[in-house]
Amino acid sequence: MEKTTTDMTPRAWVGCLACYNEGRLVGDWFDAACADEVTLADVHGAHSRADLHDELWVFDHENIPVRGDLDPLTAAAWGRVYTEVGPEYWPALCAWVESGDYVAEGDTDLPSISDFKERYQGHWDTLAEYAEQLADYIGLLADVPEEIARYFDWSAWTRDIAFDYSTYDDPEGGVFVFRVL
Ligand SMILES: [Zn+2]
């Protein structure tokens, strides 16, 4: 069950539960979005043993921000979240979910995409960089003469901002910034 791709697409290793319980790994990698459409024949090939081997399970996955095995329906639901959010936002969404401090959809563990979009403020090198852009955006120093503005206490401003925002590290560098609502 080696990783097969370097892209961000959620993938699921769907296998036969009965084979697994007998100590054999019979299965394959699929796009997570299709995990609920995989059939026993897909993983068993021609000699399907559908009589006793009638349940599929996701024993491994990649690019899905949860630990452990999954049922195929849940893996497919994650695949659909990815399709809806898109590869550009997927790393941020995963960091949000992995923080544990995210808004779930209904009584599932799946993230609420609308809540994600409401909170996510983009990828920045540091929170201080975001704070500077924010000051620009809201015109914080717009009416302040230049010779005074240069004495503005950026670190105090960033410290204040930190109460209203959460940052999660991007494994590739920088931080994902989220508003706290
Ligand atoms: Zn089997």
Q: What distance, in Å, lies between the first and last C-alpha atoms of the chain? A: 40
Question: Average pLDDT in the 142-147 region?
Answer: 92
Give the CA count within 13 Å in the CB-facing half-sphere of 51. Answer: 1
The helix (H) or strand (E) run that includes residue 165 is strand 165-169
Ligand 1 geometric centre to CA of 18 (Å): 5
C-alpha Rg value of the chain to the nearest Å: 22
Q: What is the pLDDT of residue 46?
A: 61
Ligand 1 geometric centre to CA of 7 (Å): 30
Ligand 1 geometric centre to CA of 109 (Å): 29
Ligand 1 geometric centre to CA of 4 (Å): 23
Lowest mean pLDDT among 44-53, 71-80, 127-136: 44-53
pTM of the full structure: 0.86
Using the predicted structure, report yes or no on whether residue 4 has a pLDDT greater than 70. Answer: no
Nearest CA to 8 out of 80, 70, 73, 64 is that of 64
| pLDDT tens digit sequence for 30-63 | 999 999 999 988 988 765 555 678 899 999 999 9
Ligand 1 geometric centre to CA of 61 (Å): 19
Question: Average pLDDT in the 1-13 region?
Answer: 72
Ligand 1 geometric centre to CA of 58 (Å): 13
CB within 8 Å of 54: residues ≥ 6 apart: 18, 40
